[in-house]
Amino acid sequence: MATFRCGSVSEMACGSVREVNVGGRRLALARGEDGVYHALDNMCAHQGGPLGQGYIDGDALVCPLHGFSYRLDDGSCTMLPALKVPTIPVRVEGDDVFVELPDL
């Protein structure tokens, strides 16, 4: 695993999402309404929309293109469970937020 810093706790409010580029990958970094961080692949499994430009609705991340939503904890689509986006481990140390990408 390779670890990458992708932001600060102080930069993201609860219930927000943004796009980050780390280790050659574009991810959607989300801070749930409960304050817990999650990272998902930035590409919607429906039609490739940019999830990091979407919004948080409860425990899901909603794609801005067609409203497909994905559970923050496991990346499964709330409307079509067969659709999934990869999730990436996140850890917080102090004010720093890190993602852990598998070695290629």
DSSP states of 6-22: EEEGGG--TTEEEEEEE
Nearest to 39 by CA among 30, 26, 48, 49: 30
pLDDT of residue 81: 87
pLDDT of residue 67: 95
- Look up tokens 């780390």; give the residue: 22
Per-residue tokens: 75: 């990346």
pLDDT of residue 104: 55
By the 8 A CB rule, do 16 and 31 touch?
A: yes
By the 8 A CB rule, do 51 and 28 touch?
A: yes
Domain 2-101 has CATH 2.102.10.10: yes
pLDDT of residue 1: 85
pLDDT of residue 36: 97
How far apart are alpha carbons 57 and 81 in whole angstroms?
17
pLDDT-flagged residues of the chain (< 70): 104
